[in-house]
Every structure is written in structure tokens, then in C-alpha cells.
Amino acid sequence: MSETPVAEPGPEGPGFVVRAATAAEWATVRGARLAMLADPSAAFGHGPDAEAGLPEQHWRDVAAAWAEADQTLQVAEGSDGTWLGVMGCRVQGEGPELTWVWVVPAHRGPGGVTDALLTAVEHWAQPRGDALSLKVFTDVGRAVAAYRRRGFTAVGDPVPAREPGRADWVMRKPLR
Ligand SMILES: CC(C)(COP(=O)(O)OP(=O)(O)OC[C@H]1O[C@@H](n2cnc3c(N)ncnc32)[C@H](O)[C@@H]1OP(=O)(O)O)[C@@H](O)C(=O)NCCC(=O)NCCS
């Protein structure tokens, strides 16, 4: 399996570009997905074991779906080709929904990969809906704070999450 590496935590590189993942990049999409599931933030409800054994065809299908017109997986690609973060967006019943949000730890913080990815997603979502929404576990404090500082506000009270004992904030950011 040829796979572009997902960056390990390390020193910040000189630069990156943000672009949409292609269907052909299924192996790198797999790597990014397993890395986000392994993140100690426990932001995704299950660890990588639940998906690590899924067959190649699953990842080909996932990458192909991300490349369809009603969804996008934006990736930040470092100058050496490694992926420094991803953010996905799908148009659901209520409009564009942000998902698969993950940035390599060494590239977190304001003014970098996180902002650039969100800007790209907002640009993609803007003609597709009035607002960008997301769900985030209430106990993933860094993500909640990161969304708040970037213009998202909670809609209502926390709602029970799919994972027992946890709750989600539904958050929303106007796009126009
Ligand atoms: C979510 C994520 C993309 C946010 O990007 P980021 O670059 O880390 O965000 P920032 O550093 O700009 O902002 C983080 C904020 O959380 C704060 N913070 C840091 N650790 C925190 C903690 N343990 N609890 C609460 N707030 C925390 C920071 O002070 C900052 O807030 P401020 O700007 O008001 O000072 C990134 O942290 C990530 O990939 N996390 C792991 C995966 C994840 O949680 N995904 C979200 C799934 S919904």
C-alpha cells in the first residue's frame, strides 16, 4: 500500500497548502483517520482499533465519497507532502456540517493550519448553506474553545452523545 505519511508531532515546517483530498488518496485518508482516532483528546468516541482492520475497499469508498460534490475533505499539506491536518464538511439535512476535524499537535494554535483549514471549509460551505454546524463532545475542552474563538456558538443545551455518559454541544457559525 503506498501511503503519503501523516506528520508525526515535531517542529513546525516552513509552509503548507490547503486543498481538497482526491479519491486516489484513499491510503492517506486512512492514515489521517486512524491518527485522529488515536488522538488522546478522545474527540471521536472510539479509538483506531474499531477502524484499523477495515479493508482497502472501505477506504477507497470513503475517499471517493469525500470527493463527491456534496462533501469535501480539506487537507493541509506540508512542503514535504505530509498532511498536517484535515477538516471535512458534508451537506446534511440542515446544511453544511463540519466533521473529521484534526490537526497534527505541533501545528495547532491560532494563525496556522487550523485557521487555514476552517477558512477553506467556510469558503466551500458558503454557497451551500447559511451556517456551518458541528457537534463536539462537551468534555473536549480544547476543541470547544477553538470553535468558540473562531465564531461558533452553542445552539441550546448539551444533547446526549452516541457514546454513553457523554454529551455533545451542537455549535453553529453563520456563513452570511
Ligand atoms: C480541535 C483542534 C483542531 C483545534 O485546533 P487548535 O489549533 O488546537 O485550536 P487553538 O489552539 O487555536 O485553540 C484552542 C483553544 O483551547 C484552549 N485550550 C487548550 N487546551 C485546553 C483544554 N484542555 N481545555 C480547554 N481549553 C483548552 C486554548 O487556550 C485555546 O483557547 P483560546 O484561543 O481562547 O486561548 C485541535 O486541537 C485538534 O486537532 N484536536 C484533536 C482533535 C479534536 O478535538 N477534534 C475536534 C472534534 S469535534
Q: What are the tens digits of pLDDT across the range 67-94?
A: 999 999 999 999 999 999 999 999 988 8
Q: What are the residues whose beta carbons fall under 8 Å from the beta carbon of 69, sequence distance 6 or more? A: none
* Cα distance between the two ends of the chain: 43
Examine residue 5 and state whether it is found in any structural domain, yes or no.
Answer: no
pTM of structure: 0.94
Strand 71-78 relative to strand 159-160, pairing? unpaired
CATH number of residue 51's parent domain: 3.40.630.30
What is the domain count for the chain?
1
Range of the domain at 60: 16-174
Residue-wise pLDDT for 122-142, tens only, equals 999 999 999 999 999 999 999
CA separation, residue 18 to residues 23, 97, 116, 149 (Å)? 16, 19, 7, 21
Examine residue 6 and state whether it is found in any structural domain, yes or no.
Answer: no
Amino acid at 65: A
Q: Give residue ranges with CB within 6 A of ligand 1.
A: 39, 41, 43, 101-103, 108-110, 114, 136, 140-143, 145-146, 149
CA–CA separation, 175 vs 122, rounded Å? 7
CA-nearest residue, atom 24 of ligand 1: 141
Examine residue 94 and state whether it is found in any structural domain, yes or no.
Answer: yes
